[in-house]
Amino acid sequence: MRLNIHNSSKSNHTIFDRFKRKDFFFEEFENNFFFKPFLDSNYFKKLNYKKLVNNKNRVHVFGMGGSSLSSKLLIQFLNTKDLNSKIFIYDNPYDELIEKNLSQYKITNNDKFIFISKSGKTAETKYFLEYIEKYLAKIGLKKPKKNFIFITENTNNFLNNYGKKNNIICFEHDPNIGGRFSIFSITGLLPLLLIGYDLTKLVSEAKKAFQEIKKDKLKIGKFLLDFYSSQKINKTNIFIGLSYNQKLSSVNEWYRQIFAESLGKNNKAITYISSLGPIDQHSQFQLYIDGPQDKSYVFFKLIDNKKQILNTLYDGAIKTLIDGGKLVSSISIENNYKSYNKLIILLIFDIFLRSRVENINFLDQPAVEILKKNTKI
């Protein structure tokens, strides 16, 4: 992993020294429950999923926010032909789009439908469930609920109660793991496991990645705090993440979510925008280069010499912004699953450190809860 900052301001050594003395609070970071699935060897042993595994399965995942993005960013990076024809993510309750995707295949009992909602009350997930029940009845699939799987908290909520009433398989969404941080849990991994993906490899690569981040925490912590400090000094209120390889576009979308929901509180935080370089160079870069000087940038790069056109576009964009005096950081990773996990863990560490500086609880989302109360079906 390569980390670089360009056009940075003088760092706030008071913040850096305080965090360095505390070892960047890494022990506290490590003890967060969302790392438990790969740090606790018993986590997946408690989950009775193996009877559902079948390499003939096709898996349809319905959920919003972290409930769908967790699977989406893993699948997009792994990006094998097998995955792209066997796992489908639905995160938009738009009837025509759902039916268009479903109608590509003859639905059989090898099609599994996973509905995910931590609270069990998400309006869109309830709508997905109702829509799929009607669609499967319309095409004449017998006993469709046998193909349903719910992931939700084991509480008195709609999804959990409906599942128990109809003998639907339910996996408990760990109450200690927020949806946006559920990537390493059953929420993120179940679709892969159902088609026979190797759990041991997925978990071991994540664990290796975490240990490497832990070993390099001084270097990584300094990089993250130096960039954050420069953002504060330059008073940038817009933070733009640019990915050029399609395999990194979902992690950029996911970072946007964890950035906004974790830090956007108490009139604090800056606005993060996820941008897909090859497209946005032809729609947004005039603004980025010549517009208000209120922006900072992070470039995500997948080191892949086979994608020369993407590398050329990346090099031209980052040079233009650096030459224009913009505050720019870059994170480059190797094209393998361990490096991808390192990027994911680094981005969570970034959120954690920013929340520590600002004295913000990065695990709650009070404004989202208000929105949910006002959104009733």
pLDDT tens-digit profile, the chain (377 residues): 999 999 987 666 667 777 877 888 899 999 988 898 888 888 888 888 888 988 899 999 999 988 888 888 888 888 777 777 899 999 999 999 999 989 988 999 999 999 999 999 999 999 999 999 999 999 999 899 999 999 999 999 999 999 999 999 999 998 888 889 999 998 999 999 999 888 888 899 999 999 999 999 999 999 999 999 999 999 999 999 999 998 999 999 999 999 999 999 988 889 999 999 999 999 999 999 999 999 999 999 999 878 889 999 999 999 999 999 999 999 999 999 999 999 999 999 999 999 999 999 999 999 988 888 888 76
Nearest CA among 197, 177, 200, 202 for reference residue 187: 177
Amino acid at 28: E
DSSP 264-332: --TT-SPEEEEEEHHHHTTTTHHHHHHS-S-EEEEEEEEE-TT-HHHHHHHHHHHHHHHHTT-EEEEEE
User: Would you say the CATH fold of 54-195 matches that of 2-30+204-368?
Assistant: yes
> Which token pair is 181?
């941080």
Q: What's the pLDDT score for residue 11?
A: 63
Where exactly are the structural domains of the chain? 2-30+204-368, 54-195
Tell me the C-alpha distance between 151 and 163, whole Å.
10
pLDDT reported for residue 377: 62
Structurally, at CATH architecture level, domain 2-30+204-368 sits in 3-Layer(aba) Sandwich (3.40)
Pairing of strands 2-6, 327-334: antiparallel
Phi, psi of 238 (to 5 degrees): -130, 130
Please tell me the distance from the alpha carbon of residue 151 to that of residue 61, in angstroms, as a whole number: 11
Region of residue 116 (left: phi > 0; alpha: psi -120 to 50; beta: else) = beta
CATH 3.30.565.10 fits 54-195, yes or no: no
Point out which residues pair with 327 in neighbouring strands. 296
Q: Give CA–CA dist 353/29, Å, rounded.
A: 9
The Cα–Cα gap between 23 and 255 comes to 24
Q: SS3 for 178?
A: coil
* Cβ proximity of 112 and 194 under 8 Å: yes
Contact partners, residue 328, CB within 8 Å, separation at least 6: 5, 6, 7, 296, 297, 298, 299, 318, 321, 322
Which pLDDT score, from 0 to 100, does residue 2 have? 95
pLDDT at 92: 93
pTM of the entire structure?
0.93
For position 374, what pLDDT does the model report? 87
Residue 89 and residue 115 in contact, taking contact as beta carbons nearer than 8 Å: no
Neighbours of 56 (CB within 10 A): 11
Looking at residue 332, its pLDDT comes to 97
Please tell me the predicted confidence (pLDDT) of residue 175: 86
Residues 306, 221: Cα–Cα separation, whole Å: 32
